[in-house]
Each structure stands twice: as C-alpha cells, then as structure tokens.
Amino acid sequence: MSIEIYTDGSSMGNPGPGGFCAIVKNDGATTIVKGGEPYTTNNRMEMAAIIAGLYWVTKNLPDKKTCAVYSDSNLIIQSLKQGWKRKKNLDLWEKLDTVRYQFEKISWNWIRGHAGHRENTQADKVAQAEATKQKKKK
C-alpha cells in the first residue's frame, strides 16, 4: 500500500502566527506531524506541511519510496505538476526539492479545502491549533 500524506497550513494574518499539519497514513497507521512559526504566511505553512510530511516518511519509513500527497494549495500542486513559476518562498522550494527527490514517485493531488474531506478537515484543525499556540507565545 502506498503512503498517503494529507497536508494543510494556516496563518492568523498573512503574515502572522502560523501552523501546519501533515497526516501520514501507512498500512492502517496514522501519524500527525505538526508545527508552527510565530511570523509567517499561509503559503509558507502549506509548504512546511508538505515538507514535514515527506521528511517524516524519509526518516521513519526509509524503505518507502512512493507516496501520494494531498493538499488544498492549488499554487503548490500546480507548481509541482505544471511547472508554474516559483516566485516566493524559494528557501522552502529548495527544501521541498531536496526531500522529494529522495522518492521514486510522488503523486501530487489537489483537494478542495473546507469541502468536508475528512483528512483535510482534520489537518486544517490541527494547523489552526498550531497557529493559535504560536499566537499565545507572543
């Protein structure tokens, strides 16, 4: 079975306190990878979620070389699938490229956000909670 990674990012203000979440599903097991930053943007958190999920797989399941990534960020998915020009967050694009090339195959899938998709809804809630934690740290 292929690994599935569902991701979402959130920021309270753009920029503002932000959080991210990656839900990694593998053979019936689910792992939540999460974090945040005190001053960031929504797009950075969307990217951080994907990067964190992929890094988690490379560290914890090094024999797994294929996965499916699901994100509600059309910008990121289309940049990866259609070669849209990368204009911002070049530091994160570099990290994403570094980790994604450790896989033999990744399918990049856009899913509509806030549309009742179970894992996207869960990732959104966790990302928002992580953003709230960052806000409280101030």
Active site residues: 8-9, 46, 72, 114, 124
Report the run of H or E that residue 22 belongs to, with start and end: strand 16-26
Distances from the Cα of 75 to the Cαs of 7, 56, 104, 113, 124, in angstroms?
A: 14, 23, 23, 13, 17
CA–CA separation, 10 and 64 (whole Å): 28
- Judged by DSSP in three states, 102 sits in coil
Token pair in block for residue 49: 């979620």
| CA-to-CA separations, 54 to 15, 18, 90, 99, 124, in angstroms, rounded | 25, 19, 18, 7, 18
